[in-house]
Amino acid sequence: MRSIALRRRHPAAGYAVVLAGLVIAGLCYAAVTGIGAASAASQRVSGGPLIAEGRNLFLQECSSCHGYFAQGTPSGPSLIGVGAAAVDFQVSTGRMPAKELGPEQPRKVVTLRPQQIRALAAYIAALGGGPAIPTKADVSQVGADTGLGQQLFVADCAQCHNFVGAGGALTYGKFAPPLTKATPRQVFEAMLTGPEAMPVFNDTTITPQQKRDIIAYIAASRSEPNPGGFSLGRVGPVTEGLVAFLGLLLFMVFAAMWITAKHGKSHE
């Protein structure tokens, strides 16, 4: 005690006290929030180099919303048990990582490389299982029944995604996206995992073969010709009426104005 009392007027004493205070505060914070435990937990699941890479990516790109454990926060849902297929769908369509929070994440440019997506998917799968990424054979269109696919699509998909997959509106700003750009693997993953508001169609409800049939119908409907001329988004009479009303009626109004316009000279 005496030596401390003697050294308290030492020029470095103030710095030493501040440093000690910071260390104690940091330890208390770590104890309360569990950062150290989080990194320890993350390290426990690192089973291989792919998963380790995925964990690093997750901490960089995803953990601010989904939490350090992928346990979910008010900004993002828990990812434990969602499976590799859900990760592959969300990231390979560019929906995740999200730019901003909103009612629904739109499809956008993919920011991660395929290898990074695989690593991320492996890490999330290692956290709690879930559906795996479908293989090429899983989404093969060889021998698919487009007719049955259409029946299934009309029964369970068309109410939201429109009869030809043009998409449609849902409640409170959510929407069912158009299926014009989705790859067969992404459609398969969406049915399997039910991203965002979409219901889940698991393999015992809609069998993998039926999923392939549905994908075949979606692919076939994209190349259907438009006998009427323009497709107008293929969303039915609403756009056709809108085009007729706004386009043609406006044209008629301007034509009428032109026909009845008065020449300046005739009134002099």
Partner 1 sequence: MSDSTAGPRPGDSEQDGGQLARQAGSEPGETGPTELRKRIIGTPPPAEARSMLGTPEPGTAGAPPVPRPRELPADPQNMAAAKRAERIVAACFVIATLAGVGFIAAYVIFPVHSILRAQHSNWALGLTMSLVFLALAAGAVFWVRNVMPHVELTEARKPLRSAEEDRAAFEASFEEGTQASQIVKRPLLRRTLIAASVPAAIAPILLLRDLGPLPRGTLDHTVWRRGLRLLNYGGNTPIRPGDFSSPGGMVTVVPDGYQDDFNALAKAACIIIKFAPGQIDFTSASHPVPGKVVENWTVNNIVAYSKICTHVGCPAALYEQTTHHILCPCHQSTFDATRGAKVIFGPATRALPQLPMTVDAQGYLVARHDFTEPVGPSFWERGTTV
Nearer to partner 1, 69 or 163 (CB): 163
**74 counts as binding partner 1 under rule CB under 8 A:** no
Where b means 16+ CB within 10 Å and e means fewer, 136-172 reads: eebbeeeebbbebbbebbeebbbebbbebbbbeeeee
Whole-number Cα distances in Å, 187 to 51, 57, 89, 181: 25, 25, 8, 10
Nearer to partner 1, 28 or 255 (CB): 255
Nearer to partner 1, 54 or 83 (CB): 83
Q: Are 175 and 235 in contact (CB under 8 A)?
A: no
Q: Cα(225)–Cα(227) distance, rounded to whole angstroms?
A: 6
CB of residue 242 vs partner 1: minimum separation in angstroms? Answer: 17
Task: From 6-14, 35-43, 144-152, 180-188, give the range in contact with partner 1 by CB under 8 A.
Answer: 144-152
Q: Are 84 and 97 in contact (CB under 8 A)?
A: no
Interface residue with partner 1, options 65, 132, 197, 232 (CB under 8 A): 197
**145 counts as binding partner 1 under rule CB under 8 A:** no
Site for partner 1 in 236-255 (CB under 8 A): 255
Interface residue with partner 1, options 81, 168, 208, 233 (CB under 8 A): 168
Q: Cα(68)–Cα(99) distance, rounded to whole angstroms?
A: 19
Whole-number Cα distances in Å, 34 to 37, 91, 128: 5, 28, 21
Which positions from 218 to 237 touch partner 1 by CB under 8 A, shown as an x/- string? ------xxxxxx--------
Q: Which residues bind partner 1 (CB under 8 A)?
A: 148, 151-152, 154-156, 159-160, 168, 170-172, 174, 176, 194, 196-202, 204-207, 210, 224-229, 255, 258-259, 261, 263, 265-266
